[in-house]
Amino acid sequence: MKIEVRPMPAASLTRTMVEGPAGNVETDINDPGATRHGIALIAHPHPLQGGTKDNKVVTTLAKAFFALGYVAARPNFRGVGASAGSHDEGRGETDDLLAVAAHLKRQYGELPLVLAGFSFGSFVQTRVAKKLAADRMVLVGPAVGRFPAETVPPDTLIIHGERDDVVPLAAVLDWARPQGLPVVVVPGGEHFFHGRLNLLSDLIVRHFRN
């Protein structure tokens, strides 16, 4: 059965401020309601390069997880939007995501947790995974130069664009090869998946539906 990924209804959205170690963490949460059976915590790309919770890859991931029945949470890293604090090269951002994950667990109970990240967000999620037991991980356009191989669980879903000019595909394959990690390559895709967001969404849905 094909799961249709539609825009998330406005009624499902809650914008909340989660208390973090540097102050409030602005977080958008889309809750599917009674159908929920998991939580997806999604991390955005580098804030000093314009990354926010409203990045189109991040919102595509949120829509896909919402369609699958997951609570989709998109925090703004510290210093972005209404989130307090300032950029901390992934250290403080890790603590902020841990605070948001704890909030989601209190709010929705012990549902399966997926850590998902795009670009710099993937780096931060690998740090979160060291401190927090997650059921699954998704790394899109992973910033492989920022984290060591041993931090990534063996069942991590890795998606990368064939023509990524920010993180070259060859670098991702060099990082994945020693670990035996499969990499899903989007033909013709670049770092922000222009024109291929529907395919990115389909890949997420197909992987998590099985």
Map out the domains of the chain as residue ranges. Answer: 10-209
The tokens describing 74, both together, are: 């998109």
pLDDT band at 150 (very low <50, low <70, confident <90, very high): low
- State the Cα–Cα distance between residues 94 and 155, nearest whole angstrom: 21
Question: Distance of CA 67 to CAs 2, 10, 101, 105, 203, Å?
Answer: 11, 14, 20, 20, 13
pLDDT of residue 66: 97
pLDDT band at 151 (very low <50, low <70, confident <90, very high): low
The tokens describing 63, both together, are: 């829509």
Whether the CB-CB separation of 151 and 129 falls below 8 Å is answered with yes
Q: How far does Cα 208 stand from its chain's mean position?
A: 14
pLDDT of residue 145: 84
pLDDT of residue 43: 98
Q: What are the tens digits of pLDDT across the range 100-131?
A: 999 999 999 999 999 999 999 999 999 999 99
| CA nearest to 29, candidates 49, 43, 14, 18 | 14
- State the Cα–Cα distance between residues 198 and 204, nearest whole angstrom: 10
CATH architecture, range 10-209:
3-Layer(aba) Sandwich (3.40)
- State the Cα–Cα distance between residues 157 and 179, nearest whole angstrom: 13
In this structure, of 5-9, 70-74, 124-128, 205-209, the range with the lowest mean pLDDT score is 5-9
Beta-strand ranges (E) seen in the chain are 13-20, 23-30, 38-43, 70-75, 113-118, 136-140, 157-161, 184-186
pLDDT band at 3 (very low <50, low <70, confident <90, very high): confident
Provide CB contacts within 8 A for 39, sequence distance 6+: 70, 71, 73, 104, 105, 108, 111, 112, 113, 114
